[in-house]
Amino acid sequence: MELLYAITLGVLTTCGVYLLLRARTFTVILGLTLLSHAVNLYLFASGRLVAGAPAIVGLTGRSADPLPQALVLTAIVIGFAMTAFVVVLALKAAVELRNDHVDGENPDEDRA
Amino acid sequence: MNHALILPILLPLITGAGQLLFYQAPFALQRLLGFASTFWLVLLGIWCLQIAGSGEHVLYHAGDWPAPFGIVLVLDRLSAIMLALTAVLGFCCLLYASSGSDKRGAHFHALFQFQLAGLNGAFLTGDLFNLFVFFEILLIASYALLLHGGGRARSRAGLHYVIINLAGSALFLIALGTLYGLTGTLNMADLALRVADAPPGDAPLLAAASLVLLVVFGIKAAILPLLFWLPRAYSAASAPVAALFAIMTKVGIYAILRVFLLVFALGETPVSETAWGWLWPLALLTLALGGVGVLGSNSLRTLTAYLVILSVGTLLATISFATEASLGAALFYLIHSTGMTAVFFLLADLLGQQREEGYDRFSATGPIGHRWLLGSLFFIAAIAMVGLPPFSGFVSKAWILQASAQEPQGFWLWGVLLAAALLTLIALSRTGSSWFWRPGEMASPYPLERGPLTLVSFMVGLNGLLAVFGEPVMGYLELTAEQLLNPQAYITAVLPEATAAGQEISP
């Protein structure tokens, strides 16, 4: 399970960073979303991966660490709000600046 | 347990929520609520300075959970200074905004209160994850405040600002996950003990986590490779918002102090040494870039944004010596530079409104109204900013130079700091002469509002007062530096049992 988990994290982060470095706001937002997924999974794994164990201490012999789950929950809520905000901001910028380049102007179009 | 310690967070949070719920109430009422809340924050800040002055760490256990398990708020001298500074700055910015710019967009007052709540929370918390949450609160409020008033320049600058900070938040969580995975705790005091006791095999990962945290705080504080969002964002924001943002870079510096002088500072070979090694050259380069940027700016607001960068470079270079004298000097400079950069953002707006053309751009050379009055104000403010006597900039710079003279590498700081000050002096005198001296008198000047003018003069006066009362302030700051360099006292205050047990075992 650890190997699969690590590969998933790696692929998500790679795709996130690649998309984050693109020049269009939509792909950048997609990149940020993928990156935040990767980060949430990473936080979750920081409490060690256990299968079939409840997150309540003392219920059974084995239990999962409940704290990272709480942290991930907080991070998901914040990440969700931020994504919603940045989508609206990108739309606003695209309408006002008449293009969706992250710098607000497209160097290629200006040259032509 | 003193419940008043959570008020600096709760008061603006509740006020902001109230203003949001009753946004249809008369605008004057919203303003009044904002003033009342910020005024109380100033009083609370003074109270915090007083109770922290005894040298004890004042604790607040949220929900009365004991320290490593529950969230704990810790008030020491540094937190108290930052709280008081934020409150005074917030009060001045709110007063300035009420001269009309708060009506140019929705919910200005509510967002302002949320921003203050986030700032105060970040200064008080004793838990790293909690620090992340308060960072997010202050950031999301700052995103909206930056866009306040609308316009193309703000949308463009806002997009950069939001995206780089979202990437920073992701990095922050990665660092927190690594630290939690290695140590099993996120309470700063507990973390300091566990990091010091960590097996040598964990050292590379701990160093990596500490450097990722340095990158995150570097984005907030605007250290050299991570500062290119700042000039555009700060020069696009409306004047009172930009003035409030003068404290935002200082949050990053506060976090650097907290984390690298407490969490990673213990043990035989402290993890923080790697970070200090990086910080010194980067801070010097930031300082140099700030000086060049000040000379090369095309408007007074951009110039002020580079002054912010210059102050960050000075602060971090001084802090990276990590001695008692240098930390005290850096804190004095922090108070001075926060106030003066805020003054210059407000001044740019005040002067820009009186100019015939070009607002605050240097390319326009039209006449300016009320040039004797505004010119004198600009002259005095520029003297205070550059660091000439009799203002506090002089005191702080003299102290910084004195403290760094004892260090082997100190001459580098002398050279770069003095050269940057010279560049600032040239840039500001050029601005002054081309705005006030060269053009003739304006035929029919625009009416000058008394309120904002008095406020800016008052803020410059506060800077002078800081120099007059330099001795007691310096005494307080020296004690603060002493407290910062003694992390053991912080840990004993937060975790009395753990430290007692540790002491029993060790001999």
- Complex ipTM: 0.93
**Token match 């540790």: residue?**
B502
Q: How confident is the model at residue B251 (pLDDT cuts 50, 70, 90)?
A: very high
- How many separate domains does chain B show? 1
pLDDT at A109: 62
* Cβ pair B180:A92 closer than 8 A: no
pLDDT tops 60 at residue B501: no
pLDDT at residue B467 is higher than 60:
yes
Query: Which pLDDT does position B507 carry in this prediction?
Result: 35
Q: Alpha-carbon distance B263 to B213, whole Å?
A: 11
- Report the distance separating Cα A64 and Cα B60, nearest Å: 29
Least confident of B136-145, B209-218, B372-381, B434-443: B434-443
Q: Which residues of A touch B212 (CB under 8 A)?
A: none
pLDDT, tens digit (0-9, with 9 covering 90-100), for B92-150: 999 999 988 888 888 999 999 999 999 999 999 999 999 999 999 999 999 999 998 88
Note the pTM of the prediction, 2 decimals. Answer: 0.94
Chain A / chain B CB contacts < 8 angstroms: 85
Nearest-by-Cβ selection for B159 from A20, A25, A71: A25
Q: Which residues, in sequence order, are CB contacts of B472 under 8 Å at separation 6+?
A: none
B403 and B321 Cβ atoms separated by less than 8 Å: yes
Say if residues B95 and B146 touch (Cβ distance below 8 Å): no
Best of B163, B229, B232 to disrupt the A interface by mutation (most A CBs within 10 Å)? B163
- Torsion angle of the four alpha carbons A57, A58, A64, A69, in this order, in degrees rounded to the nearest 10: -20
B152 to chain A, closest Cα gap in Å: 6
Other CB atoms closer than 10 Å to residue B502's CB: what's the count?
14
pLDDT score at B241: 95
Q: How far apart are CA A26 and CA A102, in angstroms?
A: 9
Task: Tell me: pLDDT of A37 over 90.
Answer: yes
Query: How far from each other are the two terminal CA atoms of chain A, in whole angstroms?
Result: 53
Domain carrying residue B251? 3-441+448-501
A47 with A64: CB under 8 angstroms?
A: yes
Cβ contact A102:B229 at 8 Å:
no
Following CA atoms B311, B315, B317, B319 in sequence, which dihedral angle do they give, to the nearest 10 degrees? 180
For position A112, what pLDDT does the model report? 46
Quick one: which H or E segment has residue B302?
A: helix B300-319
pLDDT band at residue B269 using 50, 70 and 90 as cut-offs = confident
3-class secondary-structure state, position B339:
helix
Q: What is the pLDDT of residue B52?
A: 92
Chain A CB contacts of B216 under 8 Å are none
User: Whose structure tokens read 């990272």?
Assistant: A68
Say which residues have a Cβ less than 8 Å from residue B266's Cβ, sequence separation at least 6: B192, B193, B195, B196, B487, B488
In a domain, residue B507? The reply is: no
| pLDDT of B202 above 70 | yes
How far does CA B104 lie from the centroid of its chain?
26
Q: What is the distance between the alpha carbons of residues B15 and B34, in angstroms, rounded to a whole number?
A: 7
pLDDT of residue B502: 52
The number of angstroms, rounded, from the C-alpha of B269 to the middle of its chain's C-alpha atoms is 30
Q: Is residue B483 part of a domain?
A: yes
Closest-CA distance, A64 to chain B, in angstroms, reads 13
Fold of A2-51+58-107: Helix Hairpins (1.10.287)
B437 domain residue, yes or no? yes
CA angle B410, B414, B417 (to 5 degrees): 125
